[in-house]
Amino acid sequence: MPDKNSARGLLTPINIIAALIVISGLYLIACRMVGGLGSVTNFSDDYPWGIWKSFFIFSVVPIGAAGFTTGAAVYLFGMEKYHSVVRLAVLIGFLSYVCAAGSLTLLDVGRPERIIMAYPFIVQQGTTSLLFEVALCVLLYITVLAIEFCPFALEALGFRRTRHWFIKLTLGLAIFAVVLSTMHQSTLGAMWVITPAKLHPLWHSSYLPVFFFVSSIFSGLSVVIIVTTLCKHFFSHIAGKTYLEEDEGVILAFGKAACVAMAGYLAIQVFGLSTSHKFHYLFSSSYGYWFLLEIIGFVAIPCYLFAMGCREKNTKLIRWTAVYTLIGILLNRFNVSLICYNYHLPWAEKYVPTWKEVWILITVVTIMSLVFRFIIKRVPILYTHPDYKH
């Protein structure tokens, strides 16, 4: 007989709201699959890519860099003191990439069966296309993250021998993950290098691949800080002692690393502007002031705040700065892929997403949040399983 207390525990306000969002959102997704993109979006010939690609591909993918940044620190550089968050970082990366690939094939393309690994190799052999390289690297990276996640799931299932074989692959997978991440993070930026006539000169640069890669580093670090903070607040009852004790040290270290990466990004931006002689655009139009807001308001200022928080060992400031930084990443990606794209068109002809597009986006984020919560509660992510100390 079902436990009435368990059933009652599911009927919380958050769960009810999430259920309503998911049900209504799945209905809109079904409408999109049946009626096509025109039934729910404002896509056009001028804007074939809308809010979904700007968010799920160009924003969520750098968020997924949490996996390769933390994995590289622990497995490649031997920083074992951050081992307590490596599982969480891998989970963040895995879910981020699944979300990006799933939304692309289901929502934008409408052909979810093409997410399988064989399709880019056998059917679409456009090896000179940047999109081919992105598809190849992302699908391979999802596979790598899935294999890295397997030992945690196998611990929960009690498959000791199988887990042992997956653990042996850890170092090689970490190296492969860094290579793949470097390739596709930079290629996402390279996609916009071929749009000099459509992307505003302040955002268009031959250094876009470098900008995207470097910004993905402090994006991933910031996301780890944010999610670690949320897990400590909401899941402290299942978190291990090591995770809770090392939290402050992890926040300080990741804050320092994010500060350094942001300083490097800022220096490269200034260098790119000077070598391409674009300083005159800064005060020539509203786009110039918008660019200054992005660079100063969402790069220089959070970089300073990270530095101040690390110097004063103020973890609260670092945590809030990580949120601030993530907003800046979202702003940059939307600027490049949407807001400052087709800058020459009159504002009346600009793309504005429909409420259905926005609601579907909220639905997908809600589903991934529920999946994250489900895994956190059932898989040893925030703690080490007592039967598997090594």
Q: Are 110 and 32 in contact (CB under 8 A)?
A: yes
Q: According to the model, what pLDDT value does residue 2 have?
A: 45
Q: How many CB atoms lie within 10 A of CB 356?
A: 17
Nearest to 86 by CA among 64, 107, 69: 69
- The phi, psi pair for 341, rounded to 5°, reads -85, 140
pLDDT value for 120: 59
* Model pLDDT, residue 6: 46
DSSP string, 357-390: HHHHHHHHHHHHHHHHHHHHHHSSSSS--TT---
CA 95 to chain centre: 9
**pLDDT one-digit tens code per residue, 86-140:** 999 999 999 999 999 888 888 888 877 666 655 556 665 556 667 777 777 888 8
* CB proximity list for 306: less than 8 A, separation 6 or greater: 255, 256, 258, 259, 262, 318, 321, 325
Average pLDDT, the chain: 88
Type of residue found at 154: L
Q: Can you tell me the distance from the alpha carbon of 343 to that of 335, in angstroms, rounded to the nearest whole number? A: 10
Q: Is the pLDDT of residue 326 over 80?
A: yes
Contact 70, 220 (CB under 8 A): yes
C-alpha to C-alpha distance for 321 and 57, rounded to whole angstroms: 23
To the nearest 10°, the Cα dihedral for 161, 163, 166, 167?
Answer: -100
Cα separation of 366 and 244, whole Å?
Answer: 26
Give the chain's largest Cα–Cα span: 73
Q: Contact 306/256 with Cβ under 8 angstroms?
A: yes
> Residue 7's pLDDT band (boundaries 50, 70, 90)?
low
Phi, psi dihedrals of residue 240, rounded to the nearest 5°: -75, 165
CA nearest to 333, candidates 72, 28, 32, 100? 100
What SS3 class is residue 199?
strand
Residue, of 132 and 62, whose pLDDT is higher: 62
368 Cβ contact list (under 8 Å, min separation 6): 95, 98, 99
User: Tokens representing 331?
Assistant: 């702003």
pLDDT of residue 308: 97
User: What's 238's DSSP letter?
Assistant: T
Tokens of 229: 């903070």
- The enclosing H or E element of 90 equals helix 86-103
Dihedral sign for Cα atoms in the order 51, 365, 214, 294: positive
What confidence category does residue 1 fall into, taking pLDDT thresholds of 50, 70 and 90? very low
Q: What tokens appear for 123 in the block?
A: 């059917």
For residues 277, 280, 285 and 291, what is the CA-based torsion angle, rounded to 10 degrees? 60
Euclidean distance between CA atoms 240 and 122, whole angstroms: 46
d(CA 212, CA 191) in angstroms, rounded, equals 11
Architecture of domain 44-378: Up-down Bundle (1.20)
- Calculate what percentage of the chain has a pLDDT beyond 90: 51
- CA 137 to each of CA 6, 134, 145: distance values in angstroms, whole numbers, following the listed order: 42, 5, 12
149-158, 227-236, 252-261, 354-363: lowest mean pLDDT where? Answer: 149-158
Burial of residue 383 (number of CB atoms within 10 Å: 0-12, 13-18, 19+): middle
> Domain limits of the chain?
44-378
In this structure, which amino acid lies at residue 169? L
Is residue 144 within 8 Å of 97, Cβ to Cβ?
A: no
The residue among 136 and 202 whose pLDDT is bigger is 202
Gap between the terminal Cα atoms of the chain: 39
Q: Which of 166, 162, 157 is nearest to 90 (CA)?
A: 166
Query: What would the pLDDT profile of 161-171 be if each residue is shown by its tens digit?
Result: 888 888 888 88
319 contact partners, CB below 8 Å, separation of at least 6: 225, 226, 229, 251
